[in-house]
Chain A
Amino acid sequence: MQREAAGTLPGPRARYLVIQLARFGDLIQTKRLLVSLMACGEVHLLVDRSLTALARLAFPGVRVHGISAHGTHGPAILGLVHDDLQELQAHQFHRIYNLNYSGLNFALASLFPVDQVRGYRLAHGQRVVDAWPAQVMRWTKVRTTRGLNLVDVWGLYADQPVEPERVNPAASAGGIGLGVVMAGQNARRSVPPRVLAPLVHAASKRIGHGPILLLGAGAERRAAAELRAALPGSLRGAVRDLVGKTSWADLFEVVGGLGLLLSPDTGTMHLAAHLGVPVMAFFLSSAWCHETGPYGTGHLVLQAMATCAPCLETGSCPNGVLCRNVFSEPGLLRYVSGQDVAQFPPHVAAMASTVDSLGVCFRPDAGIDPFMEERQSFRAAVARIAGIPGPAPCSVPLDESWIQERDWMLPQTLRGRANE
């Protein structure tokens, strides 16, 4: 691997553009990159038009631009996009971080000199993926023993990524009440109200007092009503149903004041981590805490550990999403409520977030993570590839099946730079 010559680095007032066209959660997970770049210069962020207000709230020091990228804008977007691009063209960017593997991102790359774009580029009409994201995609082919948090994947695009502990505040239960996120973007990653209700009951015992605030999009109103009905009568009076009623600013205010957020893998979960609000997340199906767990120290993820987990959300589940059943286990519910558990149930682990020199990582607080040591070796190798100090490898040898002939034969450059 060749390091980029120091002389080619942008000066102290460099101007960067980060293109993040994905959704709520991805936007929040771009934080390590944004914070790293802000230490070096002026940072601009391009997001879908629907997320500009959120981006401005989350990243006040960043200049936010919007573009009509999501399907909700309808097909008559040519004029809108043309106008959106004018704003971008007005700036001379030293470097453009194009973060999403999407045709939209490849198209946008053509607006900039190809050698200034990192991530996903269009060179003479040919799509080109830089070495770093290509490497990350390869790692995700075997997910159990590997795992690099998405915040770190994007954060390590930066020449000088900030230390992981500087990204989000450590979780601190200074607020009041329990927030409950009804569902995530992918239905299979969520649990139905009958499974969620005992979890909410247990979590409310854990924090002891305060309201229970139901959060989510308008489509989840019915599920919210079902959840309320499924809760013990003593709790129903504490429930405040905010589903479909919060603006981005409202959500910031509500989540920021919570004592604990109970959530599947959602944007609101990442927002809570962003604000330093403790998260107790339940991850099942394709959700994998080592990839998209809440960033920072002091969070917990109840990770389903079925032998088939983590799966691919694109395929149908041949097992009837049995990994969902672990969240009804009495032992798990006792753990959630804060009681001592003599025997933690199988096929689930309570993973606590912490940070090492590479980024965020999760270690079992209860239950067993059979791949912890192997993952440690993996993280040590990733740190070497990323060119930053990393955790020491452990005695378990690294699975090196991800190494390809091209890694050895073609010239490689440091993080995110192309195979030139």
Chain B
Amino acid sequence: MNEPMRRILIVLPMYGGSLPIGRYCGQALRILGHVVEYFEAPGFHSAFSALKTLRVGTDRLDYLENSLLQVVSQAVLAKVEAFAPDLVLAMAQAPLSRQALKRLQRDKVPTAMWFVEDHEVFPYWKAFAPLYDTFAVIQKGNFPACLSEVGQPNAFYLPLAADPSVHHPLSLSPLERRKYGSELSFVGAGYPNRRLAFRQLINYDLRIWGNDWDGEYLLTPFLQRNGQRIDTDEVVRIFNASTININLHSSVRPGTLIAGGDFVNPRTFELAACGAFQLVDRRTLLPELFTADELAVFDSMSGLLQAVEHYRANPEARAEIAARGRARVLAEHTYVHRMDTLMAHLQSLMSPKTGDPSWLEEIPSDLREDLDRLLVKLGLNPSASFQDVVCAVRGQGGRLGRLETAILFLDEWKKQYTPKRPEK
């Protein structure tokens, strides 16, 4: 890692697709040697959901929901105050109000949003984008110009990725293959274009996994677990167990089966990282991410049907494409790659690192070995500042060891008896 170690607060959304992505980002940043803490917004979701069970007037519910979101925003600010991050990285739907973002601007806390959504579907970015220092997006086209128009000149393209520690090939038992496998498979929500498209696949051994498929009677026999949400661990098993994974990007445009949009969804990278074979619909940004022999692409419904016929009969071709796709992901499309890019882009926004790694020289020699082991355990590099170590120790749960406790004790001692708190 070339960049200095940073303290990063990742503000997760309460729920939704960007939630696991936020966690993958945190894991990647830790691999890169940064100190990461999460703002665990999912913990507040149950309170938010409870409001919807009140059976009160809509005005009152609206007021209560906004009030709760303000409280959650205040909680983020409190976390920022306590953790003193070099960067606040917010994922799409992160509960940061405009007021909170203005406060962070005033306090000169660098903020970045990774907007992993389709800007044409979700237009709310216009009100929030100018309040972030940097806005990372998964689309190109006119989106950067649109962002500039609303007052966000510092946008940049950051495609999605996979986390190989989560998305990887599995050796499945025959029982697991029966449980999760099929000739054709799809994991995801029942968007209109998918409903229309998959009606033409009902003559195959098809399994559909995921939610929001209600009312789709023709596909009901193929829907698994009554449309329950499938957790990531099982999704990876399904990817691995399926002969052909259909990856059809969502579209809400009526009558459009193959959207032909620009951004590439996370499933593309995740399937490839699993070494699983996929048929993915063409996206304008796909060629710069994968070559033609790394992914099998279709442009139309008839093209999908032809590809299914072709590849179901050619296991070697499937295996070769899948292997090349996985190799490309590992080489260029992991969240570690993305976070490395993000941090390089943000370097100029963050204050110069003024930590003092010389504190390590003052550690008694008999403790050095223990401390080195602790730094490895915490995922910190040997030049970590004292405050970074304190943050990482404090972020651990449960009962701490003797050295960790002594480090927290020394930090408190310094705060109590040293007039000015040391620079982080």
Q: Which residues of A contact B (CB under 8 A)?
A: 69, 71, 75-79, 81-82, 85-86, 89, 102-104, 106-108, 110-114, 122, 124-125
8 tightest A-B CB contacts, nearest first = A103-B412, A79-B364, A107-B408, A71-B417, A125-B394, A110-B400, A107-B409, A111-B405
Nearest chain A residue, comparing its CB with the CB of B414? A75
Task: List residues of chain A with CB within 8 A of the CB of B397.
Answer: 124-125
Partner of A104, one of B362, B409, B418: B409
| Most chain A CB neighbours (cut-off 10 Å) among B397, B404, B409 | B409
In the complex, the answer to whether A108 meets B405 with C-beta atoms within 8 Å is: yes
Q: Which residues of B contact A (CB under 8 A)?
A: 362-364, 366-367, 394-400, 402-418
Task: List residues of chain B with CB within 8 A of the CB of A103.
Answer: 411-412, 415-416
Instruction: Output the least CB separation between A22 and chain B (Å).
Output: 12
Task: List residues of chain B with CB within 8 A of the CB of A108.
Answer: 405, 409
CA distance A86 to B401 in the complex (A): 10
CA distance A81 to B400 in the complex (A): 14
Interface of B is mostly: helix
Task: List residues of chain A with CB within 8 A of the CB of B395.
Answer: 125
Task: List residues of chain A with CB within 8 A of the CB of B413.
Answer: 69, 71, 75, 77, 104
Task: List residues of chain B with CB within 8 A of the CB of A106.
Answer: 408, 412
Asked, given contacts A71-B417, A82-B367, A125-B396, whether A107 binds B403 with beta carbons under 8 Å apart, the answer is no
Report how many A-B pairs have Cβ atoms within 8 Å. 75
Task: List residues of chain A with CB within 8 A of the CB of B418.
Answer: 75
CA distance A103 to B232 in the complex (A): 40
CA distance A80 to B362 in the complex (A): 13
CA distance A103 to B366 in the complex (A): 26
In the complex, the answer to whether A81 meets B406 with C-beta atoms within 8 Å is: yes
Partner of A107, one of B367, B402, B412: B412
CA distance A124 to B406 in the complex (A): 16
Question: What 5 new A-B contacts, CB under 8 Å, besides A71-B417, A125-B396?
Answer: A78-B367, A79-B366, A103-B415, A108-B409, A110-B408
Task: List residues of chain A with CB within 8 A of the CB of B364.
Answer: 78-79
Task: List residues of chain B with CB within 8 A of the CB of A107.
Answer: 405, 408-409, 411-412
In the complex, the answer to whether A85 meets B412 with C-beta atoms within 8 Å is: no
Nearest chain A residue, comparing its CB with the CB of B418? A75
Instruction: Output the least CB separation between A77 and chain B (Å).
Output: 6
Give 9 CB contacts A-B under 8 Å: A71-B413, A75-B410, A75-B414, A77-B409, A78-B407, A85-B402, A107-B408, A111-B405, A113-B399
Instruction: Output the least CB separation between B403 and chain A (Å).
Output: 6
Task: List residues of chain B with CB within 8 A of the CB of A82.
Answer: 367, 402-403, 406
CA distance A77 to B394 in the complex (A): 19
CA distance A125 to B398 in the complex (A): 9
Nearest chain B residue, comparing its CB with the CB of A86? B402
Instruction: Output the least CB separation between B245 and chain A (Å).
Output: 38
Task: List residues of chain B with CB within 8 A of the CB of A75.
Answer: 410, 413-414, 417-418
In the complex, the answer to whether A102 meets B416 with C-beta atoms within 8 Å is: yes
Nearest chain A residue, comparing its CB with the CB of B394? A125
In the complex, the answer to whether A85 meets B405 with C-beta atoms within 8 Å is: yes
Nearest chain A residue, comparing its CB with the CB of B395? A125
Task: List residues of chain A with CB within 8 A of the CB of B399.
Answer: 110-114
In the complex, the answer to whether B406 meets A85 with C-beta atoms within 8 Å is: yes
In the complex, the answer to whether A77 meets B410 with C-beta atoms within 8 Å is: yes
Instruction: Output the least CB separation between A170 and chain B (Å).
Output: 38
Nearest chain B residue, comparing its CB with the CB of A68? B413
In the complex, the answer to whether B404 meets A110 with C-beta atoms within 8 Å is: yes
CA distance A106 to B404 in the complex (A): 13
CA distance A86 to B370 in the complex (A): 14
Task: List residues of chain A with CB within 8 A of the CB of B416.
Answer: 71, 102-104
CA distance A108 to B402 in the complex (A): 9
Task: List residues of chain B with CB within 8 A of the CB of A76.
Answer: 362
Asked, given contacts A103-B412, A125-B394, whether A79 binds B402 with beta carbons under 8 Å apart, the answer is no
Instruction: Output the least CB separation between A331 and chain B (Å).
Output: 44
Task: List residues of chain B with CB within 8 A of the CB of A89.
Answer: 402
Task: List residues of chain B with CB within 8 A of the CB of A124.
Answer: 397-398
Task: List residues of chain B with CB within 8 A of the CB of A79.
Answer: 363-364, 366-367
Task: List residues of chain A with CB within 8 A of the CB of B415.
Answer: 103
Task: List residues of chain A with CB within 8 A of the CB of B417.
Answer: 71, 75
Task: List residues of chain B with CB within 8 A of the CB of A81.
Answer: 406, 409-410
Task: List residues of chain A with CB within 8 A of the CB of B394.
Answer: 125
Asked, given contacts A107-B405, A125-B394, whether A78 binds B410 with beta carbons under 8 Å apart, the answer is yes
Nearest chain B residue, comparing its CB with the CB of A78? B410
CA distance A108 to B405 in the complex (A): 6
Instruction: Output the least CB separation between B71 and chain A (Å).
Output: 15
Task: List residues of chain A with CB within 8 A of the CB of B400.
Answer: 110-111
CA distance A180 to B199 in the complex (A): 97
CA distance A385 to B363 in the complex (A): 47
In the complex, the answer to whether A110 meets B405 with C-beta atoms within 8 Å is: yes
CA distance A69 to B410 in the complex (A): 9
CA distance A85 to B408 in the complex (A): 12
